[in-house]
Amino acid sequence: MRITGQQGSGVLRSMSEANCFIVLEHERGAVAAGEPVSVQLVRGAGMSPIHPSLALLAGAAKRKNWAGLQKQLESALRNPAWLRPEHRVGDPTGYMRHLLYVDPHGDFVMTAITWLPGQVSPRHGHQVWCAFGVAEGEADRGAVRRRTCNR
């Protein structure tokens, strides 16, 4: 087992190269080298198949068709049937990222990010292009500026 690279909200490519995830419980704390851990295997190249409701969105993302991406994202957000109960699970210590789809060629990933009431994400930039929307609840995006997501 090896680490696939730097981790972070803007560095999701490493997730596309993973063939497993190490699952650590919050209450566990630090893990020493050599200590047994739970491993969740990822089948094949990425996490295909994609939920049918997100297939057109993935196609627009693959082509970097920004107008199509916006249209398909808005459509997916109007009917979030793709948002399963496990995607709604939050973490009281900070936001939680749920992997929805990994492009088989590593060109992009789709995630559902869950913030619990009152949680914030520190101001940050992405090292890749991004698109985002709110599927449930509300988000105060007053501090978000277009340049934080590079296209």
Residue 127 lies in a domain: yes
Is 91 among the domain residues? yes
Question: Residues 22-31: pLDDT tens digits?
Answer: 777 777 778 8
Exposed e or buried b per residue across 70-90, where buried means at least 16 C-beta atoms within 10 angstroms of its C-beta:
eebbeebeeebebbeeebeee
Residue 139 lies in a domain: yes
Between 15 and 98, where is the model more confident? 98
Q: How confident is the model at residue 98 (pLDDT cuts 50, 70, 90)?
A: confident
pLDDT of 71 strictly over 70:
yes
Domain of residue 132, residue span: 46-148
pLDDT at 47: 47
Burial class from Cβ neighbours inside 10 Å (0-12, 13-18, 19+) for residue 35 reads: exposed
Res. 13: pLDDT tops 50: yes
- The verdict on residue 59 lying in a domain is yes
14 part of a folded domain: no
30 located within any domain: no
Domain-located, residue 20: no
- Residue 142 has what pLDDT? 57
Q: Domain total for the chain? A: 1
User: For residue range 110-135, what is the model confidence (pLDDT) as tens digits?
Assistant: 888 888 888 887 777 767 778 888 88
Please report whether residue 32 resides in a domain: no
What average pLDDT does the chain have? 77
